[in-house]
Structure 1
Amino acid sequence: MDNGFLPAKIQEDYFNKIKNVFASESPEQIPHQLMSLLEVFDRFKIDIAVTGESGAGKSSLINAFLGLNPDDAGAAPTGAVETTKQATMYQHPNLPHVRLWDLPGMGTPSFGSKSYVKTMNFDLYDMFMVVISERVRENNMLLVDEIEQQKKPYYFIRTKIDNDMRSQRKKKLFSEIHELDQMRQDCKKYLKEKKLDPHVFLVSAIDTQNYELQKLTDTFKDEVSQLRAELFSSFLDKMLHGGWIKARYATNHIQQTRKLQAEDITTLQNMYKCTGFGAAKVSVVLQALSHFQLDVAVLGETGSGVSTFVNALIGLENEECGAASVSISNPAMSLGYPDVRFWDISGIEGVIDYSMYEMTQVLNWYDFFIIIVSDWQKARHLKLAKAVEELRKHYLLVQTKVDCHLQTQSELCCDETDILDGLRAQFTQELQMAKLSEKQIFFINNLDRCAFDFVGLEGALSSDLKTVRTSAFAYYIANTVKEHK
């Protein structure tokens, strides 16, 4: 089921699978079933172990990976001596479901090579980052052998590349490209001998802008969501269909690692008893969810700066290729907001002043809204906000061109903060008079992402889109099934 002129929200193959899964279900029950399932899935954690020999730079890599400096609060302790005495968990700041574990180094008097794997209890972890420095050693391959036996995914990461490059630059015929290739081939040589082909990354925890730390980060973000969905489906399969022994082991493992709470497991068991919603269906749902396109409408009057705002939001200058134009025919996409389509809808006064009913019909096509506040006198933003609330959908309110507004108020000789506080107070009063939910208004200058509330706006948008995604997906599936009954 697709709305109006909007392109498909799910690819056809996932669309057909979803349709088959819910063919016998009542459309009215689907949102409740899906929301219950996805709320449990949203709490499901995945554990990544960072392991390797002592001194390889595991803790420094974790700090760089999480965007922390060694002296920041919550950073992993680093140093020339053994600093990690026990497995320590670090929450990923942008991936709330991901827990990184800094394991003590292998090959020290405290953690000898022979007993290391048993002591560290590799069974507890879902994925590994095997960290080496300078060259591949026997201990590194012992770790790889154990991970391969457990059939778990892993990355092979060589750190301290900046140190390696400094020493190699002393050569007369130095070539950075050649040296990096030699290092990569050295890593792959030992892996190929065992017929293995994991991702290999060459990184520096100090020089984070060069080498492959960004590639590591991007690859991890792309792959960890799919891995998490696979682990959740596998857990359900064992718990619901694997027999008593497998079910007990899987349940104990999930509770021991605190991936879910006991009440979450009970919810899944009850759901299966009532609906037969088992692992196969869950797998189809999670695959479809990972490819679901969320549609965000950016609404504003002519000249309010909608297109410039969309470009700023997705990180493009107005003159760049791919920058938004004043059109509703093509959505804007951004790597910062995966599976989100931003629709540039300016000139809304032409519709809203003619027919609020028609405007409401248009609004119903979208999942989330950013309402640009421009003409305070005509207050069209309040009409839009009321319509969106009646549709029980979420929105943010944004005042663009705040720099221009401050310039017009310069003759008042007031402090900039006082002027903005006055605007916020006026805005809050307008919401109260219109009997609308209390909302924060974000003041921005489209041409300067560091000014005013732009950073706060991006944080609020990211948080809200994560929340909206689940409910939008659930109701989309219900409507899809209903229209194909």
Structure 2
Amino acid sequence: MAFIDDFYMITQEDLEDIKESISTQDLPTAVNTIKEVLEKQDLVELNIGVTGESGSGKSTFVNAFRGLGDEEEGSAKTGPVETTMEPEVYPHPKYKTVKVWDLPGIGTPNFKADEYLKLVAFERYDFFIIIASDRFRECHTQLAKEIMRMGKKFYFVRSKIDSSIAAEKRKKSFDQKKTLDIIREDCEKGLRKIGIEDPVVFLISNFELGSYDLNLLQERMERELPEHKRNVLMLALPNITLEINEKKKKVLQENIGKVALLSALVATVPIPGLSVGMDVAIVKKEMILMIHPCRSSVKDLGRPLKNSKV
């Protein structure tokens, strides 16, 4: 039964629908309900728009978020000048419904946020990552305000933190936590000056993705996504911090219980071979999820997992 291969993540709402169908419908109809639930899971898309000025590290972030290096097969093009002239989609190498979009650079003299969002097909994205490699400028706030006006979420990311830390390490008085606090406060102060109330800035190194604010960014995105997309995001994140790994473990453990219930429900349907065929397919899918975790970014491969809070 090919439809079983569409199994992905079962939400509590899905289980309630299935139980309701079992109790109120004839069994063949209930089987069709289960089939629809399984097929629906594989259609859940998460579209992430990554934008910022040319040279800010947009494309490298797209690659790091997907666990790829800049020169690996399927990676976004990177370079010292703007290489993205129109929206380019990069599916996650494992979770194909997670799509990270490398958007054209902002910050040209004639930049207009409303026209830009129309150009990149604003409606397709679940949220935006707005990246700056030093200070945020008026083009960033123009874009953020237009995104807010249209009712979507965005997150400010200050990239290239590893370079900033390396420069400060030459000072005898170097204190990493103090340095990070100063950078964050400076970015947030600058955003307030140009019209953003209560800004939150996440400090990220594309080459050491687990070293700074990845956990904080993940927690914020997780809170603001609906449940079915929240699970997709969590499983797609690189396995480079203890916090993320623990959350992935929890998601998978919860799904095991749901899978067991689903299997029990299917077992009540008197169709020869249905229960065995479904159990084999579901177990196969769950094993793939558990034993083939998402890769981390290239420089983090082989390193011990980190608690990234500083």
Q: Is residue 14–residue 37 contact of structure 2 (8 Å, CA) maintained in 1?
A: no
Aligned pair count? Answer: 253
| Residues 222 and 95 of structure 1, relative CA distance in 2, 3 Å threshold | farther
Partner of 2:301: none
**Among 462, 466, 471, the residue aligned to 2:288:** 462
Q: How does 1:49-128 map to 2 (within 5 A)?
A: 49-108=49-108, 112-113=111-112, 115-128=115-128
d(CA) in 1 for partners of 2:100 and 2:139?
Answer: 21
The answer to whether the aligner puts 1:42 opposite 2:42 as a matched pair is yes
Residue 365 of structure 1 deviates from its aligned partner by 7.3
Q: CA deviation at 1:147?
A: 0.8
Q: CA RMSD in A?
A: 4.2
Matches within 5 A, 1:143-182: 143-182=143-182
For 1:331-350, list aligned pairs within 5 A. 335-336=248-249, 338-340=251-253
With normalisation by structure 1, the TM-score equals 0.44
SS at 2:158 equivalent: strand
Given the superposition, is the C-alpha separation of residues 60 and 390 from structure 1 closer, same or farther in structure 2, using an over 3 Å criterion? Answer: closer
Match of 1:212 in 2: 213
Match runs of 1:253-268 below 5 Å: none
SS in 1 for 2:93: coil
Cα separation, 2, equivalents of 1:106 and 1:123: 18
Alignment of 1:45-444 (within 5 A): 45-108=45-108, 112-113=111-112, 115-189=115-189, 190=191, 194-196=196-198, 200-213=201-214, 215-216=216-217, 220=221, 224=225, 226=227, 228=229, 335-336=248-249, 338-340=251-253, 367=263, 393-394=279-280
- CA apart distance, 1:206: 1.8
Segments of structure 1 that go 5 or more residues without pairing to the other structure are: 1-8, 230-289, 291-332, 344-363, 369-386, 398-456, 466-485
Aligned partner letter, 2:40: V
Post-superposition offset of 1:148: 0.3
Helix, strand or coil at the partner of 1:340: helix
Q: 1:18 to 1:209 in 2, by over 3 A?
A: closer
Report the 3-state secondary structure (helix = DSSP H, G, I; strand = E; otherwise coil) of the residue aligned with 1:107: coil
1:106 offset after TM fit, Å?
0.7
Query: Distance in 1 between the 2:16 and 2:33 partners?
Result: 17
Cα shift at 1:367: 4.4
2:92–2:99 Cα contact (<8 Å) kept: yes
CA contact (8 A) 1:65 1:213 kept: no
User: Are the aligned partners of 1:388 and 1:394 in contact in 2 as well (CA < 8 Å)?
Assistant: no
**Cα displacement string for residues 82-123 of structure 1 (whole angstroms, at most 9, x for unaligned residues):** 1111110000134332111100111247x7346433433323
CA separation in 2, counterparts of 1:196 and 1:396?
A: 45
Q: Is the CA contact (8 Å cut-off) linking 1:53 and 1:107 kept in structure 2? A: yes
TM-score, structure 2 normalization: 0.65
Contact 2:87 2:104 in 1 (8 A): yes
How far apart are 1:43 and its partner, in Å? 1.6
Distance in 2 between residues matched to 1:20 and 1:388, nearest whole Å: 18
Shift of 1:394: 2.1
Query: In the alignment, which residue of structure 2 is the partner of 1:307?
Result: none
Residue 191 to residue 366, structure 1, CA distance change in 2 (3 Å): same
Letter of the 1:206 counterpart? F
Identical aligned residues as a percent: 31
Deviations 1:196-253 (A, max 9, x none): 555x321111233422235545765676563748xxxxxxxxxxxxxxxxxxxxxxxx
Give the structure 2 partner of residue 25 of structure 1.
24
SS class of match (1:49): strand
Q: Deviations over 1:350-388 (max 9, x none)?
A: xxxxxxxxxxxxxx87949xxxxxxxxxxxxxxxxxx99
In 2 relative to 1, CA 334–153 (structure 1 residues): closer, same or farther, beyond 3 Å? closer
Deviation at 1:462, TM superposition (A): 2.7
Q: Tell me if structure 2 keeps the 8 A contact 1:86–1:103.
A: yes
> Residues 44 and 228 of structure 2 are in contact (CA less than 8 Å); yes or no, is this contact kept in structure 1?
no
> Partners of 2:254 and 2:150 in 1: how far apart?
39
Rounded Cα–Cα distance in structure 1 between residues aligned with 2:255 and 2:97: 25
Post-superposition offset of 1:56:
1.0
Q: Work out the CA distance in 1 between the residues paired with 2:281 and 2:15.
A: 31
SS in 2 for 1:51: strand
Do 1:91 and 1:100's aligned partners in 2 also have CA atoms closer than 8 Å?
A: yes
* Paired amino acid for 1:112: F
Residues 53 and 366 (structure 1), Cα distance of their counterparts in 2 relative to 1, 3 Å cut:
closer
Q: CA deviation at 1:175?
A: 1.4
TM-aligned CA deviation for residue 172 of structure 1: 4.0
Which structure would you say has the larger RCO, counting Cα contacts within 8 Å and 6 or more residues apart? 2
Q: Distance in 1 between matches of 2:82 and 2:278?
A: 55
Larger radius of gyration: 1
State the one-letter code of the partner of 2:66.
Answer: L
Output one character per residue of 1:395-443: Cα deviation in whole Å (capped at 9) or x when no partner: 899xxxxxxxxxxxxxxxxxxxxxxxxxxxxxxxxxxxxxxxxxxxxxx
Structure 2 gaps, min length 5:
1-9, 232-245, 265-272, 292-310
| 1:53, distance to aligned residue in structure 2 (A) | 1.2
> Partners in 1 of 2:149 and 2:130 — Cα distance?
15
Q: Which amino acid aligns with 2:197?
A: K
Contact residue 54 and residue 105 of structure 2 kept, 8 A: yes
1:153–1:25: structure 2 CA closer, same or farther, 3 Å change rule?
farther
Secondary structure at 1:151's aligned position in 2? Answer: coil
Label 1:366 to 1:38 Cα distance change in 2 as closer, same or farther (>3 A): closer
